[in-house]
Amino acid sequence: MSEKFYMTTAIAYASRKPHFGNTYEVIMSDAVARYQRMCGKDVFFCTGTDEHGQKIETLANEQGITPQKYVDGVAGEIKGIWDLMNSSYDYFIRTTDDYHVSAVQKIFRKFYEQGDIYKSKYEGWYCTPCESFFTATQAVDGKCPDCGRELSQAEEEAYFFKMSKYADRLMKHIDEHPNFIQPELRKKEMVNNFLKAGLQDLCVSRTSFKWGIPVDFDEKHVVYVWLDALTNYITALGYDPDKSYEEQSEHFKKYWPADVHIIGKDILRFHTIYWPIFLMALDLPLPKKVFGHPWFNFGMDKMSKSKGNVIYADKLAEHFSVDGVRYYALSEMPFASDGSITYESVIKRYNMDLVNNLGNLVKRTLDMQKKYFDKVVQAPTAGDPLDEELKTAINTAYANLRQAMDDYHIADALEGLFEMFSRANKYIDETTPWTLAKDEANRARLGTVLYNLMETIRAGAVMLMPFIPATATEILDELNTDRRTFDTIGGFDGMVPGAAVNDSKVLFARVDEEKKLAEFEAERQAMIAAAEAEAKKDEKPEKPEGCALIGIEDFMNVELRTAKILACEKVPKAKKLLKLQIDLGYEQRQVVSGIAKWYEPEALIGKKIIVVANLKPATLCGIESNGMILASGEETVRVVFLAEDTPLGERVR
């Protein structure tokens, strides 16, 4: 029976489309899942979406739709991106799923009935984007210590969980399980900043909004989004709150406890303090490991639409392929410190590693095999010292990969693997197959050199399967081999003499850096403009200074009349002016107006408007104007149009 391996990502918050940094987590988790499967383990890989909370309710209200309709759209977009990134998850949970809602309600009731929850009143700071509560000492100048946004004061009736009841037990567990929180520096943050400082009781319900799981015995309350979200790791396995651990389904008992929760470093507190305590209260085993990965920044900055530096994985894949995106994400993120992404660095790594190193190695090796041996694999002969060095490089890369992946040092695993590919490219330069091919006496040596190269590529492609699976599969298909498992690495005998390889293909096409950067800059400027337009749309205009107040007598001296535009044309040599012929019902007039920038003449003909009818005549560019049409705005001018059935010549009061 295979050893089980249950792993999860944090479920993505269904408020907005996930950017590259959010998507990194599912790419990383997928690499771990694929690696563990190749190690022979029975993997259950769970991901999904977190769909409740005040922020989602607000966003839905702004769009004039129900929160359920809103999250249906965003959850579908998230799942689509996870699928596009070739994520091999086994289960996708949504916290609006009926079975999850029911289980959460039972869990909340169970906590209440066993005395872990009590009703009181919450007063303090709250961060809506993070759905987090903070004490006055945790708040930094009224801002969220996690995201830096403004906090709001909250005061409402709420239920609280007695965190202090389990604090000592949690501290003991962390002490006895040194690998429970990884990396090590994250563990120190949690212990020193929260546990040793003393745990406050946690607010676990809200009454100020409705979009959440109702507390079934007190329905003006909804369950706090983090209690709701964290329990997905057990509800996805079919956890039944009415049963003890021994009475749970075989599926649940097979996979729980989780072997690892892979999460972002910003939500470590919820997963290493609140979640273990909830599990203790449910009398369930704790997860074996919580791994808090770093963030991806754009250069040195956080991603921001207003700066035009938000990168989306699906858009990046349009330029560099899905495996190009996967490779960059996995190779550039350090183990503990934040990673960086810029368009320049993506292009550089793509061209150097995937095009030059890997792609070039595969193509020229297979092309030489076709040219010199009509694709047929030759039997290798006794080794040359260079051959032994190449074999050592394979074994070193494989040993490094196993150790690095077991420790979640994913970038290190890839670095060692691509050093092996570099060694293989050097081996070509050292052995010069094109020179060997000139002398029939060297034919056996030529066949051996190409065999060694193909075997190195085969072993490398097997090791690449967790990281860039589509490319790895393509390479193995080109080699025409079914030797695709870890246990075929090391013997240096995976390629079968007498078998024929297939034609080579271009795995990764070189990117023109200058041209591609120009495309990205155009996209960045468009993003900035869109962000500015969105921000401006939500801004309230400042109250104008206005003019001096007038009396009703002054206003009545202005004669506003309804009219219809009969004809309209541009004024020669005047870019801003249009000449309009208008019908006031009782007479026709000519009016000149500075609206040419915003309206084409033919679009105005037949429109009904309001005119200042008693304005003194004026001459503009040699054309007499008898009146003024009403319009609003300065940067953008909008003419006031009337309904088609408005009578002409009516006075506007």
Residue 640 is part of a domain; what is its CATH number? Answer: 2.40.50.140
| C-beta pairs of 347-356 under 8 Å, 24+ apart in sequence | 347/511, 347/513, 347/516, 347/517, 348/513, 350/320, 350/324, 350/508, 350/511, 351/510, 351/511, 351/513, 353/327, 353/418, 354/323, 354/324, 354/327, 354/507, 354/508, 355/508, 355/509, 355/510, 355/511
pLDDT of residue 57: 96
Mean pLDDT of 125-142: 70
CA distance 328 to 255: 31
Report whether pLDDT(538) > 60: no
Mean pLDDT of 422-434: 98
CB distance 183 to 292 below 8 Å: yes
Q: What is the pTM of this model?
A: 0.80
Mean of per-residue pLDDT scores for the chain: 91
pLDDT of residue 539: 60
Whether 261 and 322 share a structural domain? no
Total domains present in the chain = 3
Token representation of residue 248: 């749970």
Can you spell out the DSSP letters for 385-410?
HHHHHHHHHHHHHHHHHHHHHHTT-H
Whether 69 and 123 share a structural domain? yes
**End position of a domain, from candidates 259, 293, 327:** 293
CA distance 525 to 202: 44
Whether 90 and 233 share a structural domain? yes
Residue 205 lies in a domain: yes
Token representation of residue 66: 């129900």
Mean pLDDT of 274-279: 97
Please give, one letter per residue, the 3-state secondary structure of 527-568.
Answer: HHHHHHHHHHHHCCCCCCCCCCCCCHHHHHCCCEEEEEEEEE
Tell which residue, 26, 1, 9, 38, has the closest CA to residue 406.
38
Residue 115 lies in a domain: yes
Residue 154 lies in a domain: yes
pLDDT of residue 137: 64
pLDDT of residue 540: 59
**End position of a domain, from candidates 460, 488, 516:** 488
User: Strand 132-134 and strand 91-94: pairing?
Assistant: unpaired
CB distance 420 to 390 below 8 Å: no
Whether 400 and 262 share a structural domain? no
Q: How many CA atoms does the CB half-sphere of 27 hold within 13 Å?
A: 30
Whether 188 and 276 share a structural domain? yes
Whether 223 and 319 share a structural domain? no
pLDDT of residue 336: 78
Whether 263 and 330 share a structural domain? no
pLDDT of residue 36: 98
Burial of 43 (0-12, 13-18, 19+ CB in 10 A): buried
Would you call the peptide bond into 287 cis, given omega within 30 degrees of 0 as the criterion? no
Residue 521 lies in a domain: no
CA distance 43 to 87: 13
pLDDT category of residue 127 using cuts at 50, 70 and 90:
confident
Can you spell out the DSSP letters for 395-450?
HHHHHHHHHHHHTT-HHHHHHHHHHHHHHHHHHHHHH-HHHHTT-GGGHHHHHHHH
pLDDT of residue 77: 97
Could you report the per-residue pLDDT of 344-383, keeping only the tens digit for each?
999 999 999 999 999 999 999 999 999 999 999 999 998 7
CA distance 414 to 410: 7
Could you report the per-residue pLDDT of 585-635, keeping only the tens digit for each?
999 999 999 999 889 999 899 999 999 999 999 888 889 999 999 998 777
Can you give the residue range of the structural domain that contains 423? Answer: 314-488
CA distance 653 to 650: 9
pLDDT of residue 90: 98
pLDDT category of residue 289 using cuts at 50, 70 and 90:
very high
pLDDT of residue 136: 67
Distances (CA, A) of 332 to 9, 87, 507: 19, 19, 21
Report whether pLDDT(88) > 90: yes
CB distance 131 to 53 below 8 Å: yes
Tell which residue, 368, 377, 383, has the closest CA to residue 432.
368
| C-beta pairs of 468-473 under 8 Å, 24+ apart in sequence | 468/323, 468/326, 468/327, 469/34, 469/86, 469/88, 469/323, 470/86, 470/322, 470/323, 471/323, 471/358, 471/507, 471/508
pLDDT of residue 230: 98
Q: Hey, is 36 helix, strand or coil?
A: helix
CATH number at residue 389: 1.10.730.10
Can you spell out the DSSP letters for 310-349?
---HHHHHHHH-HHHHHHHHHHH--SSSPEEE-HHHHHHH
CB distance 285 to 248 below 8 Å: no
CATH number at residue 112: 3.40.50.620
Whether 17 and 155 share a structural domain? yes
Report whether pLDDT(256) > 60: yes
Burial of 446 (0-12, 13-18, 19+ CB in 10 A): buried
Query: Nearest 5°: CA angle at 301, between 295 and 302?
Result: 50
CB distance 592 to 580 below 8 Å: yes
Residue 508 lies in a domain: no
pLDDT of residue 209: 92
Rounded to whole angstroms, the maximal C-alpha distance in the chain is 113
pLDDT of residue 271: 96
pLDDT of residue 397: 98
**End position of a domain, from candidates 293, 322, 342:** 293
CB distance 180 to 289 below 8 Å: yes
pLDDT of residue 308: 67
Whether 237 and 372 share a structural domain? no
Could you report the per-residue pLDDT of 625-649, keeping only the tens digit for each?
999 999 987 778 899 999 988 999 9
Residue 528 lies in a domain: no
pLDDT category of residue 91 using cuts at 50, 70 and 90:
very high
Whether 257 and 212 share a structural domain? yes
Report whether pLDDT(125) > 90: no
Residue 498 lies in a domain: no
Whether 246 and 333 share a structural domain? no
Could you tell me which residues come within 8 angstroms of residue 207 by beta carbon, excluding any fewer than 6 positions away? Answer: 156, 157, 158, 220, 221, 222
Residue 308 lies in a domain: no
CB distance 467 to 326 below 8 Å: yes
Start-to-end CA span in the chain (Å): 88
Q: Hey, is 123 helix, strand or coil?
A: strand
Whether 240 and 171 share a structural domain? yes
**Which amino acid is it at 458?**
R
